[in-house]
Amino acid sequence: MTKNGSPLQTLAIEIAVPIGVYYGLHALGASVFLSLALSGVVPLARTLHQFAKDRTLNGLALVVLVTNVVGMLLTFVSGDARMMIAKDSIGSGITGLVILVSAFTAAPIMTKTIQPFLTRGKAANEAAWDRLSGTPRFQRIMRHTSVIWGIGFVLESAARVIGAFTLPIETMVWLSTVIFVGAFALMMVIGGKVAERAGKLIVAEANADVRPLVAA
């Protein structure tokens, strides 16, 4: 169990709950726009709650928060049900672009995001991470990881935006989620393979730091 819940709990809140709310309200007679608007309240409230509780946001979380808020405002102003579906896709695309641009800076956004998965909360790994940060080989891996996630988000965003304005709304409510989950899973696999190289460097660095103490 992680601090913010298990992966299954996160999946339920971010994906299953909004879809269930939409179809439930729509079945009760609510309009498509109202159903879509209310279905986005839960994940948005969760993001705001985590921000208030942790008092900090990494760069990726901040981008997601801003795009969620702006997207909700735009869709309420426009009153367009298709825009309601597209707003998450557009936000995902903006997130991807920000990640992609950050890959060519000194601080790729995905660096802080993947750090907990590679260090696993171990003090030795955290210290190894600090020593490796900024080194050419380690930085190159972080850059490649950000490029993969950035391109992935941009491509899945484009597919969902096109679908939002060309396919029936009832179809895109579930298909948009399928596209996102599929793309996210693919990014995790490909990005994870690249990040594994950084994980091996961390383990090697941590072990190299311990051996002199053991020998002494």
Domain count, the chain: 1
Does residue 1 belong to any structural domain of this protein?
Answer: no
pLDDT in tens, 121-165: 888 888 889 888 888 899 999 999 999 999 999 999 999 999 988
Does residue 5 belong to any structural domain of this protein?
Answer: no
Does residue 42 belong to any structural domain of this protein?
Answer: no
* pLDDT for residue 154: 93
Does residue 89 belong to any structural domain of this protein?
Answer: yes
Does residue 24 belong to any structural domain of this protein?
Answer: no
Mean pLDDT calculated for residue range 93-113: 85
pLDDT in tens, 13-54: 555 666 677 667 767 877 766 766 676 676 667 667 766 776
State the DSSP string of the chain.
--TT--HHHHHIIIIIHHHHHHHHHHHTT--HHHHHHHHTHHHHHHHHHHHHHHS---HHHHHHHHHHHHHHHHHHHH--HHHHHHHHHHHHHHHHHHHHHHTTSSS-THHHHHHHHHHTT-HHHHHHHHHHTT-HHHHHHHHHHHHHHHHHHHHHHHHHHHHHHHS-HHHHHHHHHHHHHHHHHHHHHHHHHHHHHHHHHHHHHHHHHHHHHHH-
Does residue 184 belong to any structural domain of this protein?
Answer: yes
In terms of residue numbers, what domain contains 170?
A: 56-215
Does residue 127 belong to any structural domain of this protein?
Answer: yes
Does residue 106 belong to any structural domain of this protein?
Answer: yes
